[in-house]
Amino acid sequence: MPKLERTSVLTVAAFGVAGLAAGVLVQVFNSTRGDAPFVPPVSLPATLLVIAAVVLALGIALRRAVTRVSARPVNPFHAVRLLAGARASQFAGSLLGGFGFGLLAQVMTRSVVPPSPTWLPMLFVAVSGVVLLVAGAVAEWLCRVPPDGSDTELEDDHGPETGEQLA
Q: Note the pLDDT of residue 148.
A: 59
Q: Note the pLDDT of residue 23.
A: 96
DSSP for 70-137 reads -SSPPPHHHHHHHHHHHHHHHHHHHHHHHHHHHHHHHHHTSSSPPPHHHHHHHHHHHHHHHHHHHHHH
* DSSP 8-class letter at 21: H
Pair 146, 66: CB distance under 8 Å: yes
Q: Note the pLDDT of residue 147.
A: 63
Q: Note the pLDDT of residue 2.
A: 47
> Domain boundaries in the chain?
9-29+40-142
Encode pLDDT of 40-85 as tens digits.
999 999 999 999 999 999 999 998 888 876 657 788 898 899 999 9
Pair 164, 153: CB distance under 8 Å: no
User: Which portions of the chain are predicted below pLDDT 50?
Assistant: 1-2, 149-167
Q: Note the pLDDT of residue 99.
A: 97
pTM of the model: 0.81
